[in-house]
Structure 1
Amino acid sequence: MTAELPGSAYRNDVRVSDEEREAVVEQLKAAVADGRIDFAELDAKLGHALGARTRADLDHATADLPSAAPVDPGKPLILKGGYHGVKRVGPWQVPAQVTVYGGMAGVTLDFTQAVCRRPVVDVDVHGDAAGVTIVIPEGWAADTDAVDPSYGGLKDKTSAYRLPGTPLIRLTGTGGLAGVVIRHPNGRERRRLKRQRPQS
């Protein structure tokens, strides 16, 4: 009989991370949106997921749900403001990891028309000399606790409210000399988005 090497197969007694718990929470929220479970079931399953210590605990919360398809992390996106500035706007595919350098002319990273199929997006941001502005749709949330404000500072103007099934933008990095701003669309941007929305 051949001994199984440690870690060579799935083990349900392995301790889980916060990120694994978050992924299950997003799967449960999606199940509500799809009509697979009701809000009473969601509350019970969320209790299991958030209190999970092992994979077995997490499996218990999703045992009667379809398996979540793995999402391709995609190629990391790197934006550098340089001397001319960069704007990433309009429709674009969001990878799991984005790195942004404000440079001398600044960067605008606009998620309002982006296609994002992942629960968490990690954005490593560096304000540098001209700063970085990040715009996320209403209903998306941001975690800015890991950003060092430095000289330029950090302005988080986003709402704490997060709609079920929407991404969390998780920021790291530094404000640099000019700072970092993350916000929802302003009035002018909302009007532009409304004009671009297909008419029914």
Structure 2
Amino acid sequence: MGAMTASLPGPAPDSPALRASHAERDAVIERLQDAAVEGRIDFAELDVRVERALGAKEQAELALLVADLPPVAGAEPGEPVVLNGGMAGIVRKGAWTVPASLTVNAGMGGAVLDFTRVTTRLPEVEIRVKAKMGGVVVVVPEGWAVDTDRMDPDMGGVRDRTAEGRRAPGTPLIRLVGSAGMGGVVVRHPSLRERRKLRRELES
């Protein structure tokens, strides 16, 4: 197989120019390495694509590099996880292992699920929400897709503050189902302060 050419499909003209993250670059590079092992691209082409992935500034550039490859199949779903907020609440953040199925009982203290340091090859993650009094906050990186259509807003409501746009390559669909209860559910991207903190951690 020859080197990559300009024949790969490009992004839609009206798609937002979202910036690429370290995790998204890593996911694309891993997919390219798998494709080389599978014989879909040769190793010379792998080198070219990996170099471009490392230098990619936008998600559209990364999407172009894997546009002619089939999606990854067979990612391990892991055991379902149940998180109970109880009276004190619960926070899951950092580089934690994400299962395909996750149940959150927010209780009185609430729950925070922070996916900004997560790398997963799962195509979809279902979060079953029982917000009750404490509420649930879900923080996802830019480019991740979130579906709240199956959430019952109840009294607390569901507020999805993530920007609509193209789902970045190598990222899962986060599907929320259940009830927002009294505390409600908020889905958002990291705040400016959180992004600065994450950048310092990655550079240290």
Pairwise TM-score range, normalised by the shorter structure = 0.5 to 0.7
Asked whether the 8 Å contact 1:152–1:179 carries over to 2, the reply is yes
1:67-93 Cα shifts (integer Å, max 9, x gaps): 945222101111111011100011111
Return the TM-score normalized by structure 1: 0.67
Partner of 2:156: 152
Deviation at 1:116, TM superposition (A): 1.2
Q: Distance in 2 between matches of 1:67 and 1:150?
A: 36
Cα RMSD, aligned residues only: 2.8
Unaligned runs of 5+ in 1: 1-29, 46-64
Q: Distance in 1 between matches of 2:122 and 2:170?
A: 9
Q: Distance in 2 between matches of 1:197 and 1:80?
A: 30
Partner of 2:194: 189
- AA paired with 1:99? T
Deviation at 1:179, TM superposition (A): 0.2
Q: Distance in 2 between matches of 1:84 and 1:99?
A: 17
Larger Rg: 1
Partner of 1:92: 96
Unaligned runs of 5+ in 2: 1-27, 42-62
Q: Distance in 2 between matches of 1:143 and 1:75?
A: 22
Task: Describe the SS at the equivalent of 1:100.
Answer: strand
% identity of equivalent residues: 48
Deviation at 1:167, TM superposition (A): 1.1
Deviation at 1:115, TM superposition (A): 2.5
Deviation at 1:125, TM superposition (A): 1.0
Asked whether the 8 Å contact 1:141–1:159 carries over to 2, the reply is no
1:88-113 Cα shifts (integer Å, max 9, x gaps): 01111111001111100110000111
Q: Distance in 1 between matches of 2:104 and 2:130?
A: 6
> Which residue of the other structure, out of 108, 112, 118, is the alignment partner of 1:114?
118
Q: Distance in 1 between matches of 2:203 and 2:79?
A: 30
Return the TM-score normalized by structure 2: 0.65
Q: Distance in 2 between matches of 1:89 and 1:74?
A: 18
Asked whether the 8 Å contact 2:144–2:172 carries over to 1, the reply is yes
Task: Describe the SS at the equivalent of 2:198.
Answer: helix
What is the total number of aligned residue pairs between the two structures? 149
> Which residue of the other structure, out of 143, 149, 154, is the alignment partner of 2:147?
143
- AA paired with 2:174? I
Partner of 1:51: none
Matched, 1:198 2:203: yes
The verdict on how the C-alpha distance between 1:134 and 1:95 changes in structure 2, with shifts beyond 3 A counting, is same
The verdict on how the C-alpha distance between 1:176 and 1:165 changes in structure 2, with shifts beyond 3 A counting, is same
- AA paired with 1:175? A
